[in-house]
Structure 1
Amino acid sequence: MLTVFFIGTAGSGKSLLTAAFSDWLRLSKQDVSTVNLDPGVLSLPYSPDVDVRDYIDVGSIMEEYGLGPNGAMIAAADMMAEEIENIAKEVEDLRSDIVLVDTPGQMELFAFRASGPFIVNEITKGPKVIVYLFDAVFSANPL
């Protein structure tokens, strides 16, 4: 099982690439599954096979702990780490050759917190690849 993580800034196209790449792989007769790891996303351009929102509700976290959106996303990342066994079992049960993982736009949740590398290491045991997306607007004008 090859796992491909799409990471990048908010609005860089991670969800759209997940949708388009999974469609293309399916047209190419590849066995592919999609995983949404963004607990704060309201809608997606694909139907994830595994969805962290089935485990974690950012709105409930905000309400229960009196947090704003950013604080709730940090708490959600830590809660996701606590649920990773269940999430990983769901992914494993799919038995796909390729797993595409759509991550939150708040890259710091994966890059700079202990829960991020833990989630990446535990979600699947096979080889992993990261595809980093950068917003084209910033690519054209770095200022």
Structure 2
Amino acid sequence: MVEELLSLLHALLDRHQALCMENHQLLKQLRLLVCERARLLRQVCPPSCPVPYPSRFSGESGRLPEFIMQTMSYMLANEEHFCNDAMKVAFLISLLSGEAEEWVMPYIESNSYVLGDYQAFVDEMKQYFGWGTDDEDDGDDDEEEEMEEDH
């Protein structure tokens, strides 16, 4: 009886290891497919679109607001192609390069929920790359509030 259980446990461990290896291979294939899809999406630009195709984003925090505005404008002008959040996120991912592309890989590998939630994905980008907040403005607001309280 014990030998049967040990044999079964050994078989389960072998199967688990095989599934882990298969999962690893599938993740590698997924990465390649995502990169290939991104390459193909970059080649597609409808000629009649009044909004220019967005520039790539490689992770410069000062460019994130511009990148988000460009992609939002493009998606609005071509809303028939971006009918759900997953398509919008996929479009953003297709325009990432360098550090930004490296940043997104763990989300893809873990099949994160943000891949299907546009706002959550943008929020994650803002949190990681920064949104160009201007600390000087914050100080000015405090000074203005103090001046109003004095009067």
TM-score interval, normalised by the smaller of the two chains: under 0.3
TM-score by length of structure 2 reads 0.26
**In proportion to residue count, which structure has more strand?**
1
More helix by share: 2
Larger radius of gyration: 2
Point out which structure has higher relative CO (alpha carbons under 8 A, 6+ apart).
Answer: 1
